[in-house]
Amino acid sequence: MIKVYGIPNCETVKKARAWMAQRGHDYVFHDFKKEGVPESRLAHWIAQVGWEKLVNRKGTTWRRLDPALQASLTDAASAHALMVQHASVIKRPVVEWSNGDITVGFAPEEWDARP
């Protein structure tokens, strides 16, 4: 089963969910706002794709963070703590594919090429 993590009102998440529906993919949606960030999954994502890829430094949430907090982001542990506290700083969507792959962000061309 595919699991899509994100925030329902995020435009990128909306596009990703529409892509899934258009292609008939069954998936489960995990809403960070309602269900929080699953810490054990977050640790797995960091191990698989790296904390740098998961932190959205271009988004509104990042820009609103105190500069000292931004500067304290130096490794996986500090990134983990930040993403748990500020779920909206996670680049979306995070997708756990049925084969175990993890992707971050919506890339329709790459997704179309998936087996």
Read off the amino acid at residue 111: W
The boundaries of the domain holding residue 98 are 2-112
Look up the pTM and report it: 0.94
> Residues 4, 6, 10, 37: which is the catalytic one?
10
**pLDDT at position 38, please?**
95
How many domains does the chain divide into?
A: 1
Q: In the predicted model, is pLDDT for residue 74 greater than 80? A: yes
Instruction: Evaluate whether 64 touches 41 at the Cβ level (below 8 Å).
Output: no
CATH number (domain holding residue 8): 3.40.30.10
What is the arithmetic mean of pLDDT over 6-25? 96
Helix (H) or strand (E) holding 96: strand 94-96
- 90: pLDDT confidence band, cut at 50, 70 and 90? very high
54 assigned to active site = no
Residue 115 has pLDDT above 90, yes or no: no
